[in-house]
Structure 1
């Protein structure tokens, strides 16, 4: 029993860690900007390509292997700093206040553009750079061997969840973001520079998605189409947890990841649809998600 349950749990939590990073970025952007960003999955794949490229450069240059660890968050930060403000100040800012249909069409167009740009820049070959996994090695628990990297991912996701809560609740920028989420019009009336808050929140969402992609590279690599798969999965997780709810994204990521792992182990033919079956069941019972609730909407 132990040898069956523990591997399922660890595989599920490690998978959930990566899903959470993408979904929480998506839900954060939606809670602040009220924009359904279909292109969010592209930031995940861009972060993965950037991390793979930087990591391969570190290894090719003969630099110490431990620098590949630093390349993972560094590549995500570079993507956020370069891509985040550029896209938010142009395309996304234009979509503020528009209908959900317009937002989806605009961001889906952005998604197609970003996917084509990735193919132009990185080609259609897969990239692999697993130095961090090799350096960390494996660990044996109860007679079962696990990749230490998987355990690190779980701890990192938990730390980021706590860090996000502390950032929102105990920093000036975080409190400004919370104020804008609560009431955008009153925040503007009080003198808060909402455009600056929007740019910071969007860039933070880009960073989280890119970080998820970067952390995927050492254990799974990156290949064309990664952004599309991740985008659909992130929306499913955000819907299950409740759009705009950070805790909901964390819980939903665990539920979806465990559903996928259970499907892989016991019913492989259901692997692709397991997350969406979970989403369907949850939304039938709670249409606003596990942590969501009905709210009034200003017209």
Structure 2
């Protein structure tokens, strides 16, 4: 029974982190039909920005936890929004209407460029911002100990998921975005500024990726290459749930998270294999993912 509790706790904690990482990726694809390979680098930018800002704050003698959280939020939001605006306005806008494979290659090139930019700016030395994680402490569930910071990440993933659902389903902008998803040409004919909506969407998706990195910074050592590792996991989640579906990203994250936790506690040597085995199994029976819909062919 103790193993079951450990699997559930670890699985849902990991799933909440996976959803934070994948949410921005699936928002961008859902609206813009761009499989953004650069999302991993946006995650890494958020992690580096948060770790640098937290390092400066604690070096100055700061010890207020709420200020540390504010620093994480502000630094991640700023670098995510600014980077998203530059990438969309400076590059992607010139490529709209091109083949999706070409857009994939372009965003992969952006990922490689940003990886080198981060090495130039932050170097190759690991950055540590452990203080907020340690300050929140841990509590016991029977003989298991759980970090309160991890529970905060879970709560944040729920808030972001509900916020995205409300934005897309209950706001005027969300209705406009859904009309663009359904038929871009008709939306333009009805007077919708599609390019402006694309800019907003990409900035939001980029910001979500940077927030995921900023929140993760106190848990890990921030080193070159973390963005490349993350983008592979994010793809596994969104493909399992269905590209472009927020609900699918949430369900996919839970499935992958629980599968990984089960593997770690029972067959640790299969940790990486099980993630992709779950994705492959889902795609055998649901080629468009659990919540993905086949696109209608236009004649």
Q: Same fold (TM over 0.5)?
A: yes
Contact 1:38–1:111 under 8 Å retained in 2: yes
Which residue number corresponds to residue 16 of structure 2?
17
In structure 2, C-alpha distance between the alignment counterparts of 1:279 and 1:95, rounded to whole Å? 30
In structure 1, C-alpha distance between the alignment counterparts of 2:256 and 2:40, rounded to whole Å? 17
Which residue number corresponds to residue 271 of structure 2?
271
Cα distance per residue 1:24-67 (max 9 Å; x no partner): 21111011111111111111111111110111111111223321
Which residue number corresponds to residue 30 of structure 1?
29
Which residue number corresponds to residue 204 of structure 1?
204
Contact 2:25–2:234 under 8 Å retained in 1: yes
In structure 1, C-alpha distance between the alignment counterparts of 2:54 and 2:80, rounded to whole Å? 18
Matches of residues 20-99 of structure 1 in structure 2 within 5 Å?
20-66=19-65, 67-99=67-99
In structure 1, C-alpha distance between the alignment counterparts of 2:174 and 2:57, rounded to whole Å? 35
Q: 1:114: how far off?
A: 0.5
Matches of residues 222-237 of structure 1 in structure 2 within 5 Å?
222-237=222-237
In structure 1, C-alpha distance between the alignment counterparts of 2:126 and 2:245, rounded to whole Å? 34
Q: Secondary structure at the match of 1:192?
A: coil
Which range moves more in the overlay, 169-178 or 215-224? 169-178
Give the ranges of 4+ consecutive aligned residues of structure 1 lying more than 3 Å apart after TM superposition: none
What is the RMSD computed on CA atoms of the aligned residues? 1.4
Q: 1:202: how far off?
A: 0.4
In structure 2, C-alpha distance between the alignment counterparts of 1:15 and 1:82, rounded to whole Å? 28
In structure 2, C-alpha distance between the alignment counterparts of 1:248 and 1:213, rounded to whole Å? 21
In structure 2, C-alpha distance between the alignment counterparts of 1:297 and 1:28, rounded to whole Å? 22
Contact 1:35–1:96 under 8 Å retained in 2: no
Q: 1:137: how far off?
A: 0.8
In structure 1, C-alpha distance between the alignment counterparts of 2:146 and 2:15, rounded to whole Å? 16
Structure 1 position 291 matched with structure 2 position 297:
no
Q: 1:186: how far off?
A: 1.3
Q: 1:20: how far off?
A: 0.7
Q: 1:172: how far off?
A: 2.7
Matches of residues 61-140 of structure 1 in structure 2 within 5 Å?
61-66=60-65, 67-140=67-140
Cα distance per residue 1:153-173 (max 9 Å; x no partner): 111111111111111122232
In structure 1, C-alpha distance between the alignment counterparts of 2:257 and 2:127, rounded to whole Å? 24
Q: Secondary structure at the match of 2:154?
A: helix
Which range moves more in the overlay, 143-152 or 200-209? 143-152
In structure 2, C-alpha distance between the alignment counterparts of 1:12 and 1:260, rounded to whole Å? 7
Matches of residues 250-261 of structure 1 in structure 2 within 5 Å?
250-261=250-261
TM-score by length of 2: 0.96
Q: Secondary structure at the match of 1:53?
A: helix
Contact 1:52–1:221 under 8 Å retained in 2: no
Which residue number corresponds to residue 242 of structure 1?
242
Cα distance per residue 1:99-133 (max 9 Å; x no partner): 12211211111111011111111111211111211
Cα distance per residue 1:164-221 (max 9 Å; x no partner): 1111122232222222112211111111111111011001101111111111111123
**Structure 2 unmatched ranges of 5 or more:** none
TM-score by length of 1: 0.96
Contact 1:58–1:65 under 8 Å retained in 2: no
Matches of residues 138-157 of structure 1 in structure 2 within 5 Å?
138-157=138-157
In structure 2, C-alpha distance between the alignment counterparts of 1:128 and 1:146, rounded to whole Å? 21
Q: How many residues align?
A: 298
Contact 1:27–1:238 under 8 Å retained in 2: yes
